[in-house]
């Protein structure tokens, strides 16, 4: 489950960066070969921090939704405990 959350965090980073205003803002502020002055670093640092928070929320929400779907909804469809289904399939 942990590798799945890590992959979903990467997907959350990509999802947040796909928004055109965010991408445009970061490309304008963080140009290659140029160092930002100290007082101009607050904006890009805040955007990159928010990116981490959005990615983590996306990952936890997606993983929680998948767990709910798998253990609650699928259990109702199959009609038995999911662990019994997995143990039978493993044999």
Q: In whole angstroms, give the CA distance from residue 14 to residue 61.
A: 16
Span 27-83, pLDDT tens digits:
888 888 888 888 888 998 898 888 888 888 888 888 888 888 877 777 766 666 667
Q: Is the pTM of this model over 0.85?
A: no
Structure confidence by residue, pLDDT tens digits, 16-42: 888 888 889 888 888 888 888 888 889
String of DSSP letters for the chain: -HHHHHHHHHHHHHHHHTSHHHHHHHHHHS-TT-PPPGGGSHHHHHHHHHHHHHHHHHHHHHHHHHHHIIIIIHHHHH-S-HHHHHHHHH-
Sequence-ordered list of residues with C-beta below 8 angstroms from that of 56, at least 6 positions apart, any chain: 9, 12
């Amino acid at each position: 489950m942990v590798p799945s959350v890590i992959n979903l965090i990467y997907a959350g980073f990509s999802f947040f960066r796909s928004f055109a205003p965010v991408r445009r803002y970061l490309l304008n502020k963080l140009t290659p070969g140029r160092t930002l002055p100290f007082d101009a670093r607050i904006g890009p640092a805040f955007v990159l921090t928010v990116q981490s928070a959005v990615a983590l929320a996306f990952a936890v929400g997606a993983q929680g939704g998948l767990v709910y779907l798998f253990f609650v909804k699928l259990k109702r469809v199959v009609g038995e405990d999911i662990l019994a289904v997995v143990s039978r399939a493993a044999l």
